[in-house]
Amino acid sequence: MTMEAYRYEDGTISYPGHPRSRDGAEPVETIDLSEYTGEVITWTTSTATPPGVREPNTLAIVEFDVDGETVRALGGTTIDDVEIGQTVTPVHVEELREPGVGIKPADGPQEWDGYRFEPV
């Protein structure tokens, strides 16, 4: 399991990956962000969560530096007491929310595992 970001021909990186970069360049390689640490840009704790989602649900936007190019990712956190500027690392979670409880079918294209951020 990897936290797969795309690097494009124009040098930019995005997470998640897209068929083209913001400026239309094609992807040239993948980068596993789970091997990096990142910095919390902002965070919130949501208390009104959809069906199948933990409550409360603390989420953060984290910025990674990959060889001088920045890339951001959104994810849940493993703790509720988060701070802007905190250094975190992705940790794999088998089930981020309960499959099939919300509007999307459990056996559809939606992936249910992924990474949450844990303070270093």
Contacting positions for another protein (CB under 8 A): 14-16, 22, 41-54, 57, 59-61, 72-76, 84, 96-97, 102-104, 109-114
Question: Minimum distance from CB of 23 to another protein (Å)?
Answer: 12
Cα–Cα distance measured from residue 52 to residue 102, given in angstroms and rounded to the nearest whole number: 6
Question: In terms of CB distance, is 54 or 65 closer to another protein?
Answer: 54
Residues 111, 117, 118, 119: what is their CA dihedral angle, to the nearest 10 degrees?
A: 170
Question: Minimum distance from CB of 28 to another protein (Å)?
Answer: 18
Cα–Cα distance measured from residue 70 to residue 24, given in angstroms and rounded to the nearest whole number: 18
DSSP 42: E
Question: Minimum distance from CB of 67 to another protein (Å)?
Answer: 18
